[in-house]
Structures are given as C-alpha cells and as structure tokens.
C-alpha cells in the first residue's frame, strides 16, 4: 500500500509537469515538495521494503528509509542540474528538456532569486518560450554560473548526501553499509 501511494504521487507530479502546471511564483518549497513526490519517496521505499522483507529491525528499516529519501532528493537535484549543464553525449539523452517543458528546477529558482530584474525576465521568457532562444542554452548556463546557482545547487546536493550517510548511523558497521555510503557519495559528482 505504501509503495502504491508513492507511485500515485509520482504520477501526479509527472502529470503536473506534462501539463505545465508551474508558474512564475514557483518557490523552492514547491520544488522540494515536487522532488519528494517525484523521486525521493520512491527511493526511500526501496531500501525500506528490502529491509522489511529481510525482517530487519524497525529502526534499521527507518534508517534505510531516511537514507533513501535524502539520496533521492540529492539524485533529483543533480539530475536537474545536469539537464542544464551536461554534454548530451555524456548524459546519454538530450539536455535542456526541463527548460523546453517549462519545468522550474532548483538552479533556476536560485538564479531568479539571486539575479537582477533583467535576469528574471530572461528566465521567464525562456521558460514560457519553450526553451532558450540561443539553441543550446549557453546564455542560461552562463547566468547560472555568474549568479552562483550551480555552486548553490551542488552544495545542497552535498548536504543531502551527508544527511543520507548520517541516516545510516544506526546500522551495524558492515561492508554493505559502506557500499551504500559509497553509492551516495558518488551522486553529486556524476556526469551522466
């Protein structure tokens, strides 16, 4: 039942994104709510279900749920950043999809808050026009770099990963826990 609820929340967010149910007043809290439903709740349930299937103690199940949730949040933050900054060949898919679909992500929210009135206007035009007017979005990436939005986004991802690893503290110090931490620590530095 829990997993079915998570999948329903994921579907609702996807429908909102497909129908462009976002607007210029989309806040960072709105973003976190969307990321939780789109990615983090699912990634939280996966290790919890595995622990439950293995009759793990409730505290271990909760620790793995917390780990998966923070990992899912970080994964989505990095994925959103890569959609703006990665090379399509390396990423394995076209970049700029969120911009073309009018989806507001954390780097854009930060750039709008940190930028000038002209920066905000340019970003709004880009989002409503279905993507950057310069084709590849180089001007958007430059704006994100100039306003510190890329560094901000990576710092948030690093904090989330730290929280994910901290969530594993109740688990015994065994190689499996070390592997989970290693997986988590690789997320903010991935380029695909």
Query: Could you report the per-residue pLDDT of 61-114, keeping only the tens digit for each?
Result: 999 999 999 999 999 999 999 999 999 999 999 899 998 888 999 999 999 999
**33-62 pLDDT per residue, tens:** 999 999 999 999 999 999 999 999 999 999
Residue 156 has pLDDT above 90, yes or no: yes
Alpha-carbon distance of 38 to 98, in angstroms, equals 14
The CB-side HSE value for 187 (13 A sphere, CA atoms) comes to 30
88: exposed, middle or buried (C-beta count within 10 Å: 0-12, 13-18, 19+)? exposed
CA distance 37 to 6: 7
pLDDT value at residue 136: 60
Percent over 90 (pLDDT), the chain: 78
- Give the model's confidence band at 21: pLDDT under 50 very low, under 70 low, under 90 confident, else very high: low
**Which among 156, 184, 38, 148 has a CA at the least distance from the CA of 98?**
38
127 vs 75, higher pLDDT: 75
DSSP 8-state code for residue 86: S
pLDDT above 70 as % of the chain = 95
Q: What's the average model confidence in pLDDT over 7-30? A: 84
> Residue 169: how many CB atoms within 10 A of its CB?
11
Q: Is the pLDDT of residue 5 over 90?
A: yes
Residue matched to tokens 């679909």: 101
Q: Is the pLDDT of residue 134 over 70?
A: no
Mean pLDDT of 16-41: 86
Q: Is 110 helix (H, G, I), strand (E, B) or coil?
A: helix
What is the residue whose two structure tokens read 């780097």?
107
- Average pLDDT of the chain is 93
């Amino acid at each position: 039942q829990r997993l079915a609820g998570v999948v329903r929340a994921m579907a609702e967010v996807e429908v909102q994104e497909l129908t462009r149910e976002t607007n210029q007043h989309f806040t960072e809290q709105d973003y976190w709510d969307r990321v939780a439903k789109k990615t983090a709740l699912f990634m939280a349930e996966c290790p919890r279900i595995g622990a439950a299937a293995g009759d793990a103690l409730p505290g271990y199940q909760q620790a793995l749920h917390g780990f998966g949730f923070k990992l899912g949040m970080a994964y989505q933050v990095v994925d959103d950043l890569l959609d703006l900054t990665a090379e399509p060949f390396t990423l394995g898919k076209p970049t700029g999809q969120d911009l073309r679909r009018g989806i507001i992500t954390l780097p854009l929210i930060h750039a709008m808050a940190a930028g000038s009135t002209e920066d905000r206007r340019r970003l709004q035009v880009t989002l409503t026009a279905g993507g950057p007017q310069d084709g590849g979005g180089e001007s958007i990436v430059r704006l994100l770099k100039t306003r510190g939005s890329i560094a901000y986004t990576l710092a948030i991802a690093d904090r989330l990963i730290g929280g994910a690893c901290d969530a594993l503290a109740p688990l015994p110090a065994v190689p499996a826990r070390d592997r989970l931490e290693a997986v988590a620590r690789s997320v903010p530095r991935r380029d695909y």
